[in-house]
Amino acid sequence: MADCLFCNIAAGKVPSNKLYEDDQLLAFYDLNPQAPVHFLVIPKKHIDSAAVLTEEDAPLLGHVFATIAKLCKELGCDGGYRVVTNVGEDGGQSVKHLHFHVLAKRSLAWPPG
């Protein structure tokens, strides 16, 4: 989608602090980090949010979580981490392209605000 920020980041048209890339995914550091480690994982193809995922997206989602596990291991997130995807207005989604926040290297409160 031409006017989608994360599509433009995935296409390399908008710069990002890239952590990982393959044919399906891009991982890059969040511009406004909420933890010592805070990166985003996005599918390169445009998906509005987790609300429109279907069974057909299962391989992609498996790849997302396997990649997150690999990156967190490489980054030494031994104390654990949190994976969050915000959906819609009440979920606090500001960028309408599916993305997974990965937060680590501090103790994270629960429940969220």
Q: Does 46 bind Zn ion (CB under 5 A)?
A: yes
What is the DSSP track for 22-88? -SSEEEEE-SS-SSSEEEEEEESS----GGG--GGGHHHHHHHHHHHHHHHHHTT-TT-EEEE---H
Round to whole Å and give the CA distance between 33 and 30. Answer: 5
101 beta partners: 40, 84
Grouping H, G, I as helix, E, B as strand and the rest as coil, residue 100 is strand
Cβ nearer to ligand AMP, comparing 54 with 94: 94
CB of 60: closest distance to ligand AMP in angstroms? 18
CB of 79: closest distance to ligand AMP in angstroms? 21
Round to whole Å and give the CA distance between 70 and 11. Answer: 23
Q: Does 4 bind Zn ion (CB under 5 A)?
A: yes
Site stretch for ligand AMP (CB under 6 A), options 51-59, 73-81, 86-94, 103-111: 86-94
Site stretch for ligand AMP (CB under 6 A), options 19-27, 54-62, 70-78, 89-97: 89-97
| Interface residue list for Zn ion (CB under 5 A) | 1, 4, 6-7, 46, 97
| Interface residue list for ligand AMP (CB under 6 A) | 5, 16, 28, 30-32, 86, 92-95
